[in-house]
Structure 1
Amino acid sequence: MTPVAAGSLPALLLLAAGDGVGVATRDLVPGEAVAADGVEPVGVRDAVPRGHKVALHDVAAGEPVRKYGQVIGLATTAVRAGDHVHVHNLGFDPGHRDHELATVHTELTAPAGPRPTFRGYRRANGRVGTRNYVAIVTSVNCSATTARMIADRFRGFATDAWPDVDGVVALTHGSGCGLVPTSPGAQTLLRTLRGYASHPNVAGVVVLGLGCEMLAVDQVVGGADISPDTVVRTLTIQETGGIRATVRAGVAAVREMLDEIDGRWSREDADVSELVLGLNCGGSDGYSGITANPALGVASDRLVAYGGTSALAETPEVFGAEHLLTRRAVRPEVAQRLLDRLDWWQEYATAGGGTLDNNPSPGNKDGGLTTILEKSLGAVAKGGRADLAAVHEYAEPMTTPGFVFMDTPGYDPVSVTGLIAGGATVVCFTTGRGSVFGSKPAPTIKLGTNSELYRRQGDDVDIDCGRIADGIATVDEVGDEIFARILAVASGEPTTSEDLDVGGEEFVPWQLGTVT
């Protein structure tokens, strides 16, 4: 979408020339005449909520409907100009997309002037963190309760005596045993646990196990690329003498670690290229692809232009828009890797008795999104215009700078867990319906797609991107604001979810494979 100039907006937004629908900028009532810029007015035939679609011309049953200049589905009945276009008359169509491989390249140029910096924690291995956490990483679900008991002793004001430490977080999960150790599921979990244990936002890590699990404590620590200055402890419940003894030992170990960590690092200037940004969305609506997502794309491009890393994820939520990514790949094999992952997902969905169009969710549909094609076309806007430099497996270390993609599910906590395990030190999360998501040890900045959400649920949103739809800010202006907030949060400014201490329970590794 071409950025809208600040000022009043028409009742309908036309997102690309030739689109068959416009997006309502306010609630519309039957009988009123409305128009989008450059399009003849139409008489509204139904009540249309804001963010939903209105037909700009007649469409015969079975014909494609376009938004963003792309097909978002087929009309399931005859549609007349002025009709509300949604689930009652628009259906999913897998269709055919021309998957050009590495044919379109964009050279991003950093703005003139001094390079931006942030105040981060530089580790001995050269990576730079944005937070200083002690993480209690559990090797198996059997040690989850014990880990929470230890971490609970350090909640609230309990860490005030160690001002250079951001907190103690228990990272618990529902797996770790009953798995074939060499299976994809076990290896995915192990990669995730190692990614958190070695994360640059973790200054100290306690790896806590039961003692008889398949994914043992030593496997987590031994294979993790942990910086040599990270303080590491390991405990197993069976060897320590049970839950009570392990809680006592764990609390004592964490206190010693806090004494050792506090004052060891102080924030110092780091170049913006040291940042790894995770891009995610949840509770999307009809404004997501118009406001917050393209504005985040501006910030993502800015980071990439400076040599940083920005990672898009949620593979099922790029289905239908993947052709816009494959043509941006730096090499054909990078594009093919994305297509291979989408093939896997389609087989995975079919095996489970569904299709990728089981997404959007009911909340997405209430917000105006009808098919996965429409949702995906808005979602990929988070990735801006940069070339696609790499495609990573879930929780795989993201070592390639630039704009990259990680294969994750669309479920928010699982997706962001993979991004953080892969090295994301800050996350930006767009929401239209009002997600209350947060994450640790990497902070999440939440971007609201509409101003009504910001007014209603402002304690859960960091930036109101709805000002774009309100006509009082442009996509570029809000993108610049997001980029500035990323630098501020990376330097220690708390996010709304951090103020609420949200993030520990949102550690949810992707569970794959047979459990025996």
Structure 2
Amino acid sequence: MKIDVQAGSNIPAAILLNSLDNVAVARREIAIGEASGVSGIVATAVIPRGHKIAIRAIAKGEAATKYGQTIGIASCDIAPGDHVHLQNIAMQDSDVTHHFSSHVPVIDFVPEAERRTFEGYLRPDGQVGTRNYIGIISSVNCSATVSHAIADHFNRGGGLKGYDNIDGVVALTHGQGCAIGTGTEGYEYLVRTLSGYARNPNFAGILMIGLGCEVNQISLIQEKYGLEESQFLRTMTIQQLGGTRKTVEVASAIIVEMLDALKGLERTTQPLSKLKLALQCGGSDGYSGISANPALGHASDLLVKHGGTAVLSETPEIYGAEHLLTMRAVKPEVAQKLMDRIEWWGDYTSRHGAELNNNPSHGNKAGGLTTILEKSLGAVAKGGSMPMQAVYEYAEIIDETGFVFMDTPGYDPVAVTGQIAGGCNMLIFTTGRGSVSGFKPVPTIKVATNTEMFEHMSEDMDVNCGDIVNGRESIEDAGERIFETLIAVASGQRTLSEIYDYGNNEFVPWQLGAIT
């Protein structure tokens, strides 16, 4: 896909993304009778911005195409100039042909001596943090209130005074931890997530707190994942210490000990190979796959070329576009693992009376996205063009560099929680409708797909890609801006969500299975 950069006001009202397409996308609202600027087509109805206009006749039963790919089937005859959306497009099951590892790109790595660096916190295990938080992890919902009370003592009660190199104390609480079988998939996802957060490099210290009698025993997590007690990894239970007040008192004293030991820790110059970037989109619109997502894809390619790692996720939101990933898997086994996870999702959704090929959300539809196939094709663009090195299950530790995929739900808080548990220390989140999450302990760079939303929500959006839609900036130039922002934020520049202290409530482990 290439959008020509143009100057002046004579910019066509619609964008044709691929010569094979029979729909174009409105740059702005197109009035009835107004020329689209594509193939001489005039609008026969009002085309809202971000929505699709037919540029040639599409017969009932014929495929509607965007990005050169099928996004749905015409449910009735569609005339040139018609508004193409829910009223005349139906979803179909994905039936794309896969050619595993048929187009594996060669990475044009930047020479070692020329690779970019950032300023980060080197950890004893060799990982590097982009932030310096203390984390309080509750093993069960029963210790959540105490965990928040401890964090509030430091964040709001003045407990961090004098500790200028500490970004905050984060309480990681959840609604699980008991009434769950220890041999279940849901239990495995929970403990894998908790252990992953305990090892995330954006935490300088971790305190794990349980009630004491819960199913999810801290000692079992430690044993399973090799989390050894140390100066910066401490554990306790409320019942053992004699109640809530005593636990808050003891825990606060332990955290002060950690803070004192960390006083001399400073940022040092580190290679970009130490960055693991979570790629996310939410509140998507018709511009997501045109502007912010491909621009982020270009930025993720640049990161990989400098030795770093980019992590795509949200399996239900690549459904119908997975062939674009399997073709660049470094080996067929990697491609097959992705297909195995999609097959798992097909079974999982059917067991719960749902469908994997569900339509997008209300906001997605209002923004111009008609089917999950259309949304998926745009979402995959975040993954750029590099080879797919590995596929990980939810919250697994990411141990490969380059471009990789993690199996997660499409629900953003759950997806990002899995990526952070896997080791991601940076996050870039594209949005067309205006998502506002913060995701502590990882800084969240929010990228707007369109200028109108960027200006309307200026206190939440960090980067604007709307000029791609306007034809005033190339995808590559916008991607380079995102890349430079990534390096600056990784080195300590605060995002808007950090300035306003958002991101305390987005820790949401994936909950699966029966609660007994």
How far apart are residue 160 of structure 1 and its match? Answer: 3.4
Task: Name 1:12's counterpart in structure 2.
Answer: 14
Aligned pairs for 1:139-178 (under 5 A) are 139-156=139-156, 158-178=159-179
Residues 456-471 of structure 1 mapped to structure 2, 5 A cutoff? 456-471=456-471
Distance 2:417 2:347 in 1: 23
For 2:348, the equivalent position in structure 1 comes to: 348
Which stretch of the first structure deviates more once superposed, 352-361 or 115-124?
Answer: 352-361
How far apart are the structure 2 equivalents of 1:201 and 1:369?
Answer: 35
Q: How many residues align?
A: 512
Once residues 231 and 339 of structure 2 are traced to their aligned partners in structure 1, the CA distance between those partners, rounded to angstroms, is 38
Q: 1:88 maps to what in 2?
A: 87
How many angstroms apart in 2 are the aligned matches of 1:184 and 1:226? 21
Residues 509 and 208 of structure 1: CA distance in aligned 2, closer, same or farther (over 3 Å) = same
Structure 1 partner of 2:98: 99
1:41-90 Cα distance to aligned partner (Å, 9 max, x none) = 11201111110000001111111100000000000111000000000100
> Counterpart in 2 of 1:318?
318
Structure 2 matches for 1:109-258, cutoff 5 A?
109-111=108-110, 114-156=114-156, 158-224=159-225, 231-258=232-259
Contact 1:199–1:226, Cα closer than 8 Å, also in 2: no
Q: Distance in 2 between matches of 1:34 and 1:394?
A: 44
Q: Contact 2:119–2:270 at 8 Å: present in 1 too?
A: yes
Other-structure match for 2:48: 49
Taking the aligned partners of 1:71 and 1:97, their CA distance within structure 2 comes to: 9
Equivalent residue for 2:483? 483
Checking the alignment, whether the CA contact within 8 Å between 1:30 and 1:47 is kept in structure 2 is yes
Are the aligned partners of 1:197 and 1:221 in contact in 2 as well (CA < 8 Å)?
no
**Separation (CA, whole Å) in 2 of partners of 1:442 and 1:49:** 36
After the TM superposition, which of the residue ranges 15-24 and 220-229 deviates more from structure 2?
A: 220-229
Which one-letter code corresponds to 2:437 in the other structure?
F
SS state at 1:468 partner: helix
Task: Give 5+ residue unaligned stretches, structure 2.
Answer: none
1:359 is displaced (CA, Å) by 3.9
Q: Separation in 2 of the partners of 1:34 and 1:509?
A: 45
Q: How much has 1:349 moved relative to structure 2?
A: 1.4
**Structure 2 counterpart of 1:25, from 27, 30, 37:** 27
- What is the alpha-carbon distance in structure 1 between the residues aligned to residue 282 and residue 414 of structure 2? 12
Shift of 1:417: 0.3
Counterpart of 1:153 in 2: which secondary structure? helix
Task: Map 1:437-476; keep pairs closer than 5 Å.
Answer: 437-476=437-476
Q: C-alpha distance in 2, partners of 1:229/1:376? A: 44
Cα gap change, 1:6 to 1:152, in 2 (>3 Å): farther
Instruction: Give the counterpart letter for 2:502 in structure 1.
Output: V
Match of 2:300 in 1: 300
2:23 counterpart letter in structure 1 = V
* Offset from partner CA, 1:181-227 (integer Å, 9 cap, x none): 12111011000000001111111100000001111122233344559
Is 1:64 matched up with 2:63?
yes
Deviates more, 1:471-480 or 1:202-211: 471-480
- What amino acid is aligned across from residue 161 of structure 2 in structure 1? D
Aligned match of 2:333: 333
1:382-441 residue CA offsets vs partner (Å, 9 max, x unmatched): 000001100000000000111000000000100000000000010110000000111111
CA contact under 8 A between 2:232 and 2:258: conserved in structure 1?
yes
User: How far does the alpha carbon of each residue in 1:469-507 deviate from its partner, in whole angstroms, 9 at most, with x for none?
Assistant: 122211111100111111111111111111121112000
Q: What secondary structure, in the 3-state scheme, does the structure 2 residue paired with 1:137 have?
A: strand
Q: 1:416 is matched with which residue?
A: 416
1-structure distance, mates of 2:467, 2:269: 32
CA contact (8 A) 1:451 1:467 kept: yes
Tell which deviates more after alignment, 70-79 or 348-357.
348-357
Q: TM-score, normalised by structure 1?
A: 0.97
Mapped partners of 2:24, 2:30: distance in 1: 12
State the percentage of identical aligned residues: 51
Aligned partners of 2:393 and 2:71: how far apart in 1?
A: 28
Distance (whole Å) between structure 2 residues aligned to residue 496 and residue 289 of structure 1:
24
Q: 2:114 is paired with a residue of what secondary structure?
A: coil
RMSD value, Cα:
1.4
Q: Would you say the 8 A contact 1:298–1:476 is kept in 2?
A: yes
CA separation in 1, counterparts of 2:229 and 2:207? 15
Moved over 4 A (4+): 225-230
